[in-house]
Amino acid sequence: MTKRLETLPRRFYERDPEVVAKSLLGKILIRKTGGKRLSGMIVETEAYYGPEDPASRASDGMKNFNRLMWLKPGVAFIYNVHKYWMFNIVAHELGKVGAVLVRAIEPFEGIDIMRRNRGIGDEKIVNLTNGPGKFTVAFGIDKKLNGVDVTSQKSPIFILDRHIHVRISSSKRIGVRADLEKNLRFYIQGNRFVSKSG
């Protein structure tokens, strides 16, 4: 990671959530906390739409907790599920609604800190960030980051472009009772840090 990588601009997120979810795979997520830097490659995502999507946080219309999904793309949207924070990035075309959930990360920098945050020592590294709740705990992500602009390196969390090509597989979204017909979960084919294959 010696080459200077470019921060993904806002226009990257001003697209259909499905397109953004696929395009985020292989990108580097940076988290700055306590003077330290944690990083990893995004290996699994899910796309969510507006009120027409029964699995979306926006399915019941705009509320105080989900209003970010209607607003400016390229900001963090964070909510809680089963005591775990879910890290999403608002992504949609003009006048639309949507966000992309980051489900799993391949850890690069700050692995010792991630282990401490997770409270695990010698457990296999593959289990460190291979799920949306594991990832947010490891990276110290919580509600305080809700609304943070991820398009600026001045932010505590942002995304860098590695300009690499990855092979993408897809499936139905995980843990969803009522889903849309098309596959909206995407992951890097063969990556061992994906939460589950298939």
- Each residue's pLDDT tens digit, 122-135: 778 999 999 999 99
Model's pTM, two decimal places? 0.94
Please state the domain extents for the chain: 16-188
**Are the C-beta atoms of 88 and 100 separated by less than 8 Å?**
yes
**Which ranges of the chain does DSSP label H, i.e. alpha helix?**
10-13, 17-23, 111-118, 132-138
Q: Which residue has the tokens 């959930």?
A: 101
Residue 120 structure tokens: 């695990």
Assign domain 16-188 to a CATH class.
alpha beta
pLDDT tens-place string over residues 53-107: 988 998 988 888 899 999 999 999 999 998 999 999 999 999 999 999 999 999 9
Closest CA relative to residue 70, chosen from 102, 100, 101, 96:
96
